[in-house]
Chains A and B, each alone.
Chain A
Amino acid sequence: MHTTRARIAAGALTAAVVVGLTSCASAGGGAPARGGGFEGRGPINYVAGKDVSGTFRGVVDQWNREHPDEKVTFVELPEQSDQQRQQHIQNAQTRSDANAVIALDVVWTAEFAANRWIEPLPEEQFPLDQTLPPVVEGAKYRGVLYAAPAWADGGLLFYRTDLLAEAGIDKPPTTWARLRSQCGQVLALPNAAGMSCYAGQFEKYEGLTVNFAEAVQSAGGAIVDENGKPTVDTPQAKRGLDFLVDGFKSGLIPRPAITFQEEQGRQAFQKGQLVFHRQWPYQHALASKTDGSSAVAGKFDVAPLPGADGPGSSSLGGWNLAVSSFAKNKATALDFVKYMTSAQRQRQNLEAASLAPTYTSLYDDPELVRAFPYLPTLKASIMTAQPRPRVVRYGDAAGAIQDEAYAALTGVKSSEAALADLQGRLDKITGGR
């Protein structure tokens, strides 16, 4: 009796286990429907991440008032970008026509384009000549435009103006060597007791991909060359990685920084623990708050990232809008993409949600520069920015980069060994079959 019951219970449990495990293995396969021009008008869905600031809801309402026959429904996805990507992929797998216009992180462009989940866009209908060139590059796959830039992002070097002035330094560093020497001067000040020199995002996640790519690019290297071939086993890449590895070894970068994502670093900078901090522009507004949450309000400024021998190069961040291959009413979808990415909308996005525009002209607008003093520096940063490796299997490539860079930063591997291993792994990932 007892045994039977236990067996039944165990059977039921295992059943639950199976369901839990297998639900992630959805059926893949089948040819996706191919485009056929942008035809059809009518209601569509616009699918993007959570509208934290509320800006996009307003813009969609505005569109709906102007286009009563082509109503757009705004579908909000979770805030985490990997969850958004998974929902988009699931939709593509089932070839659902539920999504028409989708917001894509710039790093997904190659994957979505190569899988033909999104339609190539008519390039001549977008004002690409007025857009920052690296942003346009990031929206292309093999020379074809697949998405319209909606907003951009670039890394900045936040630095403490008060401490640099006190140490008699008049300009922020443009090279790593100068960053090191300026740190030496600043940390010798009594006011800088207990501070650390530099931090970025070094936890094992996408932020590490960004920081590794920036270090390699800023030393003149590249993760993949223009033909998409990996080139990380090079002296330039080693010089870049060594900047970070030596930084940890010498204490230039504080030990806890290996656990830093954006927010942990921001906390440290706002508490006045860092002289220099590699960060996205969003930190500017938060660190400027005078409500007591920031100890460095009015005491910092931003500069382009430093490099090995001269100014460095940022990773390109940002989001683009694309039209799903499986959508109905693609003519409406295309119009909506143009509407959402126009200069006027991007000005609204900047003013309401601090999202950096992709149009050159907005960076030179005196009114905007007054409200967002970091704009000229951000423009310089984005102009030197490189999209992160544009490989179809981006998730695997980013994973391999994170594994190897993390091993080098934590001293598990020498930087030579890490880069040699990374080269081998990236060769396999980009090798196709």
Chain B
Amino acid sequence: MTAVLSRPPSDRRAGSARLGALLVAPTVLVLAVVVAYPTVQAVWQSLYGARGIDPESGFVDDTEPFVGLDNYAVLFTSAGDRFWNALANTVFLTGTSVALEIVLGVGMALIMHQALRGRGLVRAGILIPWAIPTAIVALLWRWIFNADGLANAILPGQVLWTSEGLHAKLAVVFADVWKTAPFVGLLVLAGLQVIPKEVDEAARVDGAGSWRRLRSITLPLVKPALLVAVLFRVLDALRMFDMPYVLIGARKESVETLSMLAHDEASNVRFGPGAAYAVILFVFVFLVAFAFVKLLGADVVGDAGKGVRSRKTRRAKVIA
């Protein structure tokens, strides 16, 4: 101990840097194996095309041809229509379902926060959809959206929900919102519970109505938790696969997402194009996540200029 203390400060800093490197090494190693390697492998794989068939023998070639960026270039030809459609579907399904989930989730959180009697029961009830595996939820809703299912029994007319069209998109959004709004609700509830009661009481004393208190006190204070919830949901929804796949079916133009497209390519033994779609989806998700974090950061800095930094930081600490 004394030896360490007697060392010059710069040496001590180098020593603790070494120790730090040693401590994070296992994590870095695990990340390299489970994150970096598959990513590099996928990018590399995406540079290969599908195997050809020898017209003479009828056998499939042993090797995959190296095609460079062809798998990406092809997206800008007419053959890329399916990709752009899948991208549009992914964005549409993510946008609509996450927006609805936020509104409903906040509503649920406010109810869960308020409910005094039967609070546990209400919370458990709201969380049930989140606890059911997505594939099971999709099967459940498939049954409801059947030609002679519950949805058609309640609604006027007969809508063939699982056939192509806007109704298929709506069915997916509906089922997805049903399943994941509780998740948003849970995260927002956590945010609500750390808001000090005094703030709300002070506003009440000042004569603020309940709408005013919601808008000016509750929502701004719960915003950091809400943003994390939105980030989680957006990243999750961009990878949406099982809900449309099980509820509506494979290869349906109306609901085919990028994940489904990559899966379809890979299951037809075209790992190159499949990997290309996966890489594009990864980059897309990464950019969205990055933009989100940037926006989150920009917000804090932006407010700081107006002199509310200290308050904001304190709030952030409370939430985090």
**Does A22 lie within 8 Å of B278, measured CB to CB?**
yes
Question: Would you call A42 an interface residue if the criterion is a C-beta within 8 Å of the partner chain's C-beta atoms?
Answer: no
Interface majority SS (helix, strand, loop, mixed), chain A: helix
Which residue from B45, B58, B250, B293 sits with its C-beta under 8 Å from A25? B45
CB contact under 8 A between A395 and B162, given known A13-B235, A114-B58, A116-B60: no
Task: Tell whether, in the assembled complex, residue A259 and residue B293 are in contact, meaning their CB atoms are under 8 Å apart.
Answer: no
Contact of B281 with A by CB under 8 A: yes
Cβ–Cβ contact A15 & B164, under 8 A:
no
Residues of A near B249 (CB, < 8 A) are: 203-205
Contacts of A396 in B (CB 8 A): 268
- Output the nearest chain B residue to A402 by Cβ-Cβ distance: B251
With contacts A15-B35, A255-B158 taken as known, whether A21 is within 8 angstroms of B60 at the C-beta atoms is no
B313 interface contact, C-beta 8 A: yes
Interface check A403, CB cutoff 8 A: yes
Cβ of A431 to closest chain B Cβ, rounded Å: 9
- CB contacts (< 8 Å) of A89 on chain B: these are 269
Q: Which residues of A contact B164 (CB under 8 A)?
A: 204, 406, 410, 412
A32 and B45 within 8 A (CB): no
A24 neighbours in B (Cβ, 8 Å): 262-263, 266, 274, 278
| Residue pair A1, B252 in contact (C-beta under 8 Å) | no
Question: CB-CB < 8 A to A86: which residues of B?
Answer: 267
B34 to chain A minimum Cβ distance, whole angstroms, is 6
Tell me which residues across on chain A come within 8 A of B210, comparing CB atoms: none
Count contacts on B: residues with CB < 8 A to the other chain: 67
Which secondary structure dominates where chain B touches chain A?
A: helix
List CB contacts (< 8 Å) of A360-385 with chain B.
none
- The answer to whether A28 and B320 touch (CB under 8 A), given A17-B282, A255-B160, is no
Task: State whether B158 touches A21 (Cβ < 8 A).
Answer: no
Nearest-neighbour CB distance to chain B for A16, whole angstroms, equals 8
A90 CA / B207 CA spacing, docked (Å):
68
Question: Quick check: B316 and A2 within 8 Å, CB to CB?
Answer: yes
B285 near A: Cβ within 8 Å?
yes
- Rounded to whole Å, the gap between the CB of A124 and the closest CB of chain B is 22
The answer to whether residues A28 and B231 also contact, given A18-B282, A114-B53, A399-B251 and a CB cut-off of 8 A, is no
The listed residue (B58, B239, B262, B300) touching A3 by CB distance below 8 A is: B300
A1-44 near B? 1/0 per residue, CB < 8 Å: 11101110110011101111111111111111000000000000
In whole angstroms, what is the CA distance A258 to B195 when docked? 53
A115 CB contacts on chain B under 8 angstroms: 59-60, 269
Partner of B282, one of A22, A28, A111, A406: A22
Q: How far is the CB of B136 from chain A (nearest CB, A)?
A: 15
Choose among A6, A7, A25 the residue with the greatest number of B CB atoms under 10 Å from its CB: A25
State which of B31, B60, B224, B278 has its C-beta within 8 Å of the C-beta of A2: B224
Are the CB atoms of B316 and A15 closer together than 8 Å? no
Closest CB in chain A relative to B297 CB, distance in Å: 4
Indicate if B127 sits at the interface (CB-CB under 8 A).
Answer: no
- Which residue of B158, B259, B269, B317 is within 8 Å of A1 (Cβ)? B317
Contact digits for A381-394, partner B, Cβ 8 Å, 1 yes 0 no = 00000000000110
Query: Does A142 belong to the interface (CB within 8 Å)?
Result: yes
Which of under 10, 10 to 19, 20 to 34, or 35 or more describes the interface residues of A? 35 or more
**How near does chain B come to A29, taking the closest CB pair, in angstroms?**
6
Q: Which B residues between 249 and 271 are near A, CB-CB below 8 angstroms? A: 249-252, 259, 262-264, 266-269, 271
Whether A27 pairs with B147 at a CB distance below 8 angstroms is no
Give the complex CA separation of A5 and B228 in angstroms: 11
In the assembled complex, B286 has its CB within 8 A of some CB on chain A: yes
Instruction: Say yes or no: is B68 at the interface (Cβ < 8 Å to chain A).
Output: no
CB-based contact B35/A18 at 8 Å? yes
B31-72: CB near A (< 8 Å → 1, else 0) gives 100110011011001101001111100111011100000000
Give the chain A neighbours of B41 by CB distance below 8 A: 22, 25, 27
Q: Is A141 an interface residue (CB 8 A)?
A: yes
Q: Which residues of A contact B243 (CB under 8 A)?
A: none
B62 contacts A259, C-beta separation under 8 Å: no
Residues in A whose Cβ lies below 8 Å from that of B146: 259, 264
Cross-interface CB contact of A10 among B51, B268, B289, cutoff 8 Å: B289
Chain A residue contacts of B226, Cβ below 8 A = none
A166 within 8 A of B: no
Q: For the complex, is B232 an interface residue (Cβ under 8 Å from A)?
A: yes
Top 9 A-B residue pairs of the complex, sorted by shortest distance between their CB atoms: A256-B147, A25-B275, A22-B38, A22-B42, A433-B52, A3-B297, A31-B62, A2-B316, A395-B268
A-B contact pairs, 30 of them (CB 8 A): A2-B316, A6-B297, A15-B31, A17-B235, A17-B286, A18-B39, A19-B38, A20-B239, A21-B281, A22-B42, A22-B282, A25-B38, A25-B262, A25-B278, A27-B271, A28-B64, A29-B63, A89-B269, A114-B58, A114-B59, A115-B60, A141-B58, A142-B58, A255-B158, A256-B158, A259-B163, A264-B147, A392-B58, A395-B269, A433-B52
Interfacial residues, chain A to chain B (CB-CB below 8 A)? 1-3, 5-7, 9-10, 13-15, 17-32, 82, 85-86, 89, 111, 114-116, 141-142, 203-205, 255-256, 258-259, 264, 392-393, 395-396, 399, 402-403, 406, 410, 412, 432-433
Identify 8 new A-B residue pairs, CB closer than 8 A, beyond the known A27-B45, A111-B269, A402-B251. A10-B293, A13-B235, A14-B285, A14-B286, A21-B259, A21-B282, A114-B58, A259-B163
